[in-house]
C-alpha cells in the first residue's frame, strides 16, 4: 500500500448531498488497490452509511487507525495525523523505522507501535525524552505499548505518576542486533500514586542488584497499588527468581509461577490466570487457590497434574503445552473443565 493512497483516502471530501458508503469507526489499511476501488463503488452490508460534512475530510471523525506495513517517514506520518483530528487509537505494525507521533490532538487514548520485519524484530528509535513529550501532549492517554525499544534507559519510569489517566504502560527494553542505550543508574517509578494503572511491562533487559530491585518494586507498589500484571518487569533470569507477587497479593490477576512465589499463590485474592512454564516441585498437600479459572501448563506427568488439581480446584480453562507426545494428560478428575486447549509436538517417525 502506497502512502498516497492512504492519505488520499483520509482526505476524501464530498458535497452535502452525496452519501458515501463507508465504515469509518476503524480503518484497516492493509488492502489492495482493487479493494479500495471496490469500496467506493459496491454496496456492502457490513459498512455503515455515513454522510460526510461538506469540504471536511473523511478522516476527521475517525476514532481508530491501524497502519500495517506502510513505509512511513516522520513527515508522512504527521500528514496522516492531520486528517485524523479525533483519533483515539493509533496502531502501527511496521517493518521499518518509525517515529512516535508527539503532535496532533490531545484526544488519543491508545498508542501501539510494534516493529517486525518477518526475519526478526527491529528496535524502535524511541527514547525516554520522546516518550515523555508524547505523554505530555496526549493528556488523555490510557494505554501505551511500544516494543521493542532499545533506547529507553528507564528514566521515563520516574515520571509515570505524572500521567493520572494511564492504565497500561508497555515499553519493553530489548535489543537484537542494533544499538542500545545504557540503562539509568538509579531506576524507580516516580510521581503521584495512580490507582488506575493496572499493567506495567518494561521488558527483560535491565540488570539490578537485590537492593536496586527492591527499591524498584517498592516504588511500583506506591505508584500502582492496584497492579494486576507486570510482564517481565525488567529483570533477566535470576537464580533463585525474585518474588514480586508478595507485593501485590490483593490485586494481581495473572502470575508466571516460579520456585520463589509458589508459596504465595494461595494468598492472591484476585488471581485468575496462572502460567506454569517451568519444572517446579509441588508440595504433597498444597494450599489451594479457588479463584484461579485459567491454567497454562508446560509440564509432563499425571502426578504433577493431580497436585495442580488440588492447588487450583476450580480451573475451567486449561491449556496443555505438552512436551512429551507419548504421555497424555489425565483430566478425568477435572469436573470443572469447560475449555481444553492441547498443543502437542508432532510425533517422530
Helix (H, G, I), strand (E, B) or coil at 35: helix
What are the grid coordinates assigned to 105, written together? 490532538
Distance CA 228, CA 230 (A): 7
Q: Please report whether residue 261 resides in a domain.
A: yes
The domain boundary, picked from 238, 267, 298, lies at 238
pLDDT at position 216, please? 94
Q: Is residue 110 part of a domain?
A: yes
d(C-alpha 14, C-alpha 35), whole Å: 20
| Residue 14 CB contacts under 8 Å (≥ 6 apart), including other chains | 20, 52, 54
In this structure, are 158 and 231 located in the same domain? Answer: yes
Q: Are residues 112 and 230 in the same domain?
A: yes
Of 173, 204, 238, the one marking the end of a domain is 238
Q: pLDDT tens, position by position, for the chain (349 residues)?
A: 677 777 676 776 655 444 444 333 333 333 334 444 444 334 443 334 444 444 567 777 888 888 877 777 767 777 777 778 788 888 887 665 555 555 555 688 998 888 765 445 566 778 898 889 889 888 899 999 988 888 899 999 999 999 999 999 999 988 776 678 889 889 999 999 999 999 999 988 888 888 999 999 999 999 999 999 998 885 555 666 788 999 999 999 999 888 888 889 999 999 999 998 777 888 777 889 999 999 988 766 566 777 888 889 898 888 877 655 444 444 554 555 666 665 555 554 4
Question: Do 147 and 269 reside in the same domain of the chain?
Answer: no
Q: Mark which of 210, 238, 266 sits at the end of a domain.
A: 238
Cell of 29: 489499511
Do 306 and 333 form a contact (C-beta atoms < 8 A)? yes
Q: What are phi and psi of 214, to 5 degrees?
A: -65, -40
Does residue 16 belong to any structural domain of this protein?
Answer: no
DSSP labels, 80-97: HHHT-TT--EEEEEESS-
**Shared domain check, 289 and 193:** no
CATH of the domain at 221: 3.80.10
230, 263: one domain: no
Q: Is residue 108 part of a domain?
A: yes
Same domain, 302 and 224: no
- Judge whether 116 lies within some domain: yes
Domain count along the chain:
2
| 288 and 177 in a common domain | no
- Do 69 and 169 belong to one domain? yes
Are residues 63 and 175 located together in one domain of the fold?
yes
The answer to whether residue 228 sits within a structural domain is yes
| Domain match, 73 and 147 both | yes
For residue 210, give its domain range.
59-238
d(CA 103, CA 137): 7
Is residue 15 included in any domain, yes or no? no
Amino acid at each position: 500500500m502506497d502512502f498516497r493512497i492512504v492519505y488520499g483516502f483520509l482526505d476524501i471530501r464530498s458535497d452535502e448531498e452525496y452519501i458515501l458508503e463507508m465504515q469509518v469507526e476503524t480503518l484497516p489499511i492493509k488492502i489492495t488497490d482493487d479493494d479500495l476501488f471496490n469500496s467506493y463503488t459496491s454496496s456492502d452490508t457490513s459498512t455503515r452509511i455515513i454522510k460526510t460534512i461538506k469540504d471536511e475530510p473523511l478522516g476527521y471523525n475517525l476514532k481508530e487507525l491501524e497502519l500495517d506495513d506502510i513505509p512511513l517517514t516522520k513527515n508522512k506520518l504527521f500528514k496522516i495525523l492531520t486528517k485524523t483530528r479525533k483519533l483515539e487509537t493509533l496502531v502501527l505494525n511496521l517493518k521499518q523505522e518509525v517515529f512516535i507521533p508527539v503532535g496532533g490532538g490531545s484526544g488519543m487514548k491508545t498508542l501501539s507501535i510494534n516493529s517486525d520485519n518477518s526475519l526478526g524484530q527491529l528496535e524502535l528509535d524511541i527514547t525516554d525524552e520522546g516518550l515523555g513529550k508524547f505523554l505530555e501532549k496526549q493528556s488523555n492517554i490510557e494505554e501505551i505499548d511500544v516494543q521493542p525499544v532499545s533506547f529507553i534507559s528507564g528514566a521515563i519510569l520516574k515520571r509515570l505518576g505524572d500521567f493520572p489517566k494511564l492504565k497500561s504502560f508497555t515499553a519493553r527494553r530489548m535489543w537484537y542486533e542494533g544499538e542500545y542505550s545504557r540503562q539509568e543508574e538509579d531506576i524507580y517509578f516516580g510521581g503521584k500514586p495512580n490507582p488506575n494503572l493496572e499493567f506495567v511491562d518494561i521488558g527483560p533487559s535491565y540488570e539490578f542488584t537485590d537492593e536496586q530491585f527492591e527499591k524498584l518494586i517498592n516504588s511500583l507498589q506506591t505508584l500502582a497499588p492496584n497492579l494486576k500484571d507486570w510482564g517481565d518487569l525488567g529483570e533477566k533470569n535470576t537464580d533463585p527468581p525474585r518474588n514480586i507477587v508478595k507485593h501485590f497479593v490483593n490485586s494481581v490477576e495473572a502470575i508466571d509461577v516460579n520456585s520463589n512465589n509458589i508459596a504465595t499463590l494461595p494468598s492472591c485474592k484476585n488471581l485468575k490466570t496462572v502460567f506454569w512454564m517451568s519444572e517446579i516441585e509441588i508440595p504433597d498437600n498444597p494450599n489451594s487457590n479457588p479463584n484461579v479459572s485459567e491454567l497454562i501448563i508446560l509440564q509432563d506427568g499425571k502426578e504433577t497434574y493431580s497436585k495442580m488439581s488440588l492447588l487450583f480446584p476450580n480451573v475451567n480453562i486449561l491449556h496443555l503445552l505438552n512436551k512429551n507426545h507419548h504421555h497424555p494428560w489425565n483430566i478425568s478428575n477435572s469436573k470443572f473443565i469447560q475449555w481444553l486447549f492441547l498443543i502437542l509436538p508432532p510425533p517422530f517417525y
